[in-house]
Amino acid sequence: MTATLDLAKALLSLRSVTPDDNGCQDLLADRLQKLGFQIEKLRFGPVDNLWARWGEARPLVCFAGHTDVVPSGPVEKWGSDPFTPAIRDGKLYARGAADMKTSIAAFVTAAERFLAEHPQPKGSIALLITSDEEGDAIDGTEKVVRALQARNEGMDYCIVGEPTCVAKLGDTLKNGRRGSLSGSLTVKGIQGHIAYPHLAKNPIHLAAPAIAELAAATWDQGNDYFPPTTWQISNIHGGTGATNVIPGEVKIEFNFRFSTASTQESLQQKVHAILDKHGLDYDLEWSLTGKPYLTPKGTLVDALSDAIRRVTGLETELSTSGGTSDGRFIADICPQVVEIGPLNATIHKIDEHIDVADIEPLSEIYRQTLVNLLT
C-alpha cells in the first residue's frame, strides 16, 4: 500500500455521482490544510468546489480535476461493488478509478512530497477541484474561474488530471482540445397533401442542396496540432408521421468540432452564407459549449515531457483528440494548460479500473513536474 493508493481508495469509497461531492472535497481539504494550504470552499447551486492554494508567489502551478463520477450502470454487471474499491490481478476497480479520483490523490501526494523536499519553492501550488465536470458543467470549474478572474487571480501553469494515456502511463498528454459549437436549424416550407405538391413546399427538398454543400465544405485546414474542423449532423426530423403529408418544416441538429484555425464567428458566418445562398426560410439557434484552446510546446509541455521521461522512460505524444474538458474554462485565466492522467481505456465503463503499478508513478510525474517548474 502506498500513500497515493490509500488516498485514492478513500476517495473511491465515497459515492460521488455527479453533481454530489459526498465529502470528497472535505477529505482533500483536511489533508491539504495540514500542508499549509489556504482552503476556500465555493458552492454554486448544488455544486461543491474547492480552491486550495499554498503560497502567494508566482509562478502559480495549479492541479485541476473533479470528484464527481458518472453513474455506475448495472451494479450486478460489475465484478465488485463499484463504490467499494477492490484490487484484483494488480488492478484497482471502482467507479472513478481512472476518471479521475486517482489523479486527484496523486496531486495531493505529489504536493506533500514536493513541499517536504522543497519547503521554500520558487512559486506557489493550487488545486481547483469541482463536483460538476461529468454533469452540466455550469456551476463548477467555469464559475470558479469567473470568481478568480473577478479578483484578478490567475495561474501560470495548469495540469488537468484527465485520463489521457492510451497503452502505457505517460504515452499521451493533451495540450489542447477542440471547441464544440452546435446549431439547431429549422427550415420552413408549406405543409400539404403529397398528391398536390404544387400546393405545398417541401422543406426537406429545399434544404437538401444546402445540406450537401455544408457537408462538403472546407472550414479550415487545421494546423500543426489540430485536424481540420468538421461539421456533422446529429439529428434530422421532418414529417407528421403520415405517409401522405408533405411536412411544413424540417429540423436539423448539427455540431462543429472546431480547431484554433477557426472561430465561432467565422463558422457561423459561413453557415448563414450557405443557407442564404440557397434562399431558405429558416431559423437557426446556436450553442457554444466549449472554445478550443492550445498550449504549444514550451515551459509546461517541456516540464511534463521531462518528468514523464524520467519516470517512465517514454517520449510522450502530444494530442488534441477527444471531447471537451474543464481545461476549456481554465484556459481563460491560464496561458498554459495541459492534461495528463492514467489510461483511459475503461473510463465510464463497467469495471472501470487502473493498474496499481501506475498509481505511484503518476504521483511521481506530478512531483517531478513541480520540481521542474518551481525549483
Model pLDDT for residues 20-33, shown as the tens digit of each residue? 999 999 999 999 99
Dihedral sign, Cα of residue 170, residue 171, residue 177, residue 180: negative
Looking from the CA of 190 toward its CB, the CA atoms found within 13 Å total 8
Q: How confident is the model at residue 312 (pLDDT cuts 50, 70, 90)?
A: very high
Q: Are strands 249-258 and 230-238 parallel, antiparallel or unpaired?
A: antiparallel
281 is catalytic: no
* Separation between Cα atoms, residue 35 and residue 65, nearest integer Å: 19
C-alpha distances out from residue 72 to 17, 46, 69, 97, 277, Å? 8, 21, 8, 12, 48
Closest CA to 233 of 246, 221, 251: 251
| 8 A C-beta contact, residue 282 and residue 254 | no
Mean pLDDT of 191-206: 97
3-state DSSP assignment of residue 94: coil
Percent of the chain with pLDDT over 70: 100
What single-letter DSSP state applies at residue 199?
G
Rg (CA), the chain: 24
* Separation between Cα atoms, residue 72 and residue 277, nearest integer Å: 48
User: Of 20, 133, 139, 142, which one is the catalytic site residue?
Assistant: 133
| 8 A C-beta contact, residue 83 and residue 95 | yes
| 8 A C-beta contact, residue 54 and residue 124 | yes
Q: Is the pLDDT of residue 240 over 70?
A: yes
Mean pLDDT of 141-166: 97
Percent of the chain with pLDDT over 90: 96
Q: How confident is the model at residue 323 (pLDDT cuts 50, 70, 90)?
A: confident
- Give the amino acid at 267: L
Query: 77 — alpha (psi -120 to 50), left (phi > 0) or beta?
Result: alpha
Q: How confident is the model at residue 46 (pLDDT cuts 50, 70, 90)?
A: very high
Q: Is the pLDDT of residue 34 over 70?
A: yes
68 is catalytic: yes
pLDDT of residue 318: 96
| Predicted confidence (pLDDT) per residue in 90-111, tens digit | 999 999 999 999 999 999 999 9
3-state DSSP assignment of residue 101: helix
User: Of 21, 68, 249, 351, which one is the catalytic site residue?
Assistant: 68
* Separation between Cα atoms, residue 259 and residue 263, nearest integer Å: 8
Q: How confident is the model at residue 322 (pLDDT cuts 50, 70, 90)?
A: confident
3-state DSSP assignment of residue 320: coil
| Predicted confidence (pLDDT) per residue in 67-84, tens digit | 999 999 999 999 999 999
pLDDT of residue 324: 83
| Predicted confidence (pLDDT) per residue in 325-361, tens digit | 999 999 999 999 999 999 999 999 999 999 999 999 9
What's the start-to-end Cα distance of the chain, in Å?
A: 29
SS3 per-residue string spanning 110-167: HHHHHHHHCCCCCCEEEEEEECCCCCCCCCCHHHHHHHHHHCCCCCCEEEECCCCECC
What single-letter DSSP state applies at residue 76?
G
Average pLDDT, the chain: 97
What single-letter DSSP state applies at residue 170?
T
| 8 A C-beta contact, residue 92 and residue 85 | yes
Displacement of CA 246 from its chain's centroid (Å): 42
Bond before 155 cis per omega within 30 degrees: no
Closest CA to 83 of 165, 166, 23, 164: 23
How many residues appear in the chain? 375
pLDDT of residue 1: 55
H or E element at residue 238: strand 230-238
- Give the amino acid at 348: H
| Predicted confidence (pLDDT) per residue in 254-270, tens digit | 999 999 999 999 999 99
